A and B are shown apart, each in its own frame.
Chain A
């Protein structure tokens, strides 16, 4: 198992944001967490990345326990997160943003190869290298944020709401790129409000409601589940 989230509870100022969440991710999978706003999806991802720490429970990545590590150690271990709302560095150029994604790396040669890989997925970034990230459109910023995360060559990619605020066409474009990245053998955890998109991409899914996992299973089972259909797939 690549990532094993065991029974974690996270508190924000003494209020629990998520309770007893367990998630298992096998190598090579796309696993999705779906649920409405405030269900605890983002908190779960932030906790895996080390921006929050669980009060109880454990998180294991490969053979390493990571739940009390700072974010930079978790990044070094091989987990990269594309945060909600992209969060590119607005006053840095596209090239600088990508360089920041590789902040800890010293293998310049392999880094350049990964940069070419990023430009293959996102050709627009190659032609915009000198542009300030903050002046790009939402879809372009999403691509930059994903490219930035890939620059650390992560074993596990965490995507937080990649479709948020994007046009339907851009959503499809991003979905195609997620598939491409996955087909290169990259493991992905995808958090989405757009459950239709997420369940189309993923092999496995978890449904969160108010900080709890209420349902889990194969993506196709979830697609056919009456409750999921009613609550998340619009009937």
Chain B
């Protein structure tokens, strides 16, 4: 591999890792607090991209504001999903998973009905230009994703470790009964976790909108990646999910560059299988979450 290609691939890996991390932390957090897996998480990402399509490409709002708008919009969708699906099925992992699988199809069909199928949406690139690193051209729109992810992940870390409400989420993930005895409302914590999960998936989709094919099905592959990331990271571990996201980012990008995208997914899954064999709890998983 030539140096230029290598640098380019490295940069793309970091960008992919940033997106995987931003999407996966929400899935891991929600799983940790609820012990339920959200199949519609990829559609939260997809709808985040459509928020940018509507507000930025159609309505002409500044890109930055359109990305911000995705946060409350998809957070609200996360809250609704918690209230209407996860709360009634609490404790029944399969019911929650299947019901959100249903939600996946509903959201995909709705997006197709409203905005059309087939063609991807044209979203003009708000930040033109490219950074030149060792001869490799890296588009600013891509570069932008990295600091955005760092800020978002840093904010989540601060919230979970320095704010009492966020610590309540961790307490709830570690022992819901003991948390309830401290006056921590399980319902409030599951709502909060799903709100954050929605916000993070939504903002990731929004950031990706100008450099990704925006279609109703764009969340599908990412959901599989996010599940692999969360499993490799150790199910409920946020830190593990971030670490695994960047590892997967490198694996996918390098294998795609050298071979092709299908091989990349195969290698990613093989990597997951390998981790599960050598460390069944995942990279940073705990024996009993």
- A residues near B (Cβ < 8 Å) are 49-51, 70-72, 75-76, 80-81, 83, 87-92, 96, 99-101, 103-104, 148-149, 152
Contacts and interface: CB of A to CB of B under 8 A. Distances in A.
Contacts of A81: 181
A72 B171 CA distance: 14
B164 interface: yes
Interface of B: 164, 167-168, 170-171, 174-175, 177-185, 187, 286
Given A71-B180, A92-B171, 19 more contacts: A51-B177, A51-B180, A51-B181, A70-B187, A71-B183, A75-B183, A83-B181, A88-B178, A89-B178, A90-B174, A91-B170, A91-B286, A96-B167, A100-B179, A100-B184, A101-B182, A103-B184, A104-B183, A148-B182
16 contacts: A49-B181, A70-B185, A71-B181, A72-B184, A75-B182, A76-B183, A89-B174, A89-B175, A89-B178, A91-B170, A91-B174, A100-B182, A101-B182, A103-B168, A148-B182, A152-B183
B180 A72 contact: yes
A89 B170 contact: yes
B171 A89 contact: yes
Contacts, number: 65
B181 to A, nearest CB: 5
Contacts of A51: 177, 180-181
A148 B167 CA distance: 14
Contacts of A80: 181
B183 A72 contact: yes
A130 to B, nearest CB: 13
Nearest to A152: B183
A83 B185 contact: no
Nearest to B168: A103
Contacts of B164: 99, 103
A70 B185 CA distance: 8
Contacts of B179: 89, 100
A83 B176 CA distance: 12
Given A89-B171, A99-B164, A83 B183 contact: no
Given A51-B181, A90-B174, A99 B286 contact: no
A89 B177 CA distance: 11
A99 B174 contact: no
Contacts of B185: 70, 72
A70 B171 CA distance: 17
A91 B167 CA distance: 11
B178 A83 contact: yes
A92 B167 CA distance: 9
Contacts of A49: 181
B167 A100 contact: yes
A96 B187 CA distance: 21
B188 to A, nearest CB: 8
A149 B178 CA distance: 10
Which of B179, B183, B185, B286: most chain A CB closer than 10 A?
Answer: B183
Contacts of A76: 183
A71 to B, nearest CB: 4
Counting from the closest, the 9 A-B pairs by CB-CB distance are A75-B183, A71-B180, A87-B178, A104-B183, A72-B185, A72-B183, A89-B174, A100-B182, A103-B183
A101 B184 CA distance: 9
B182 A87 contact: no
A75 B180 CA distance: 9
A89 B164 CA distance: 14
Contacts of B182: 75, 100-101, 103, 148, 152
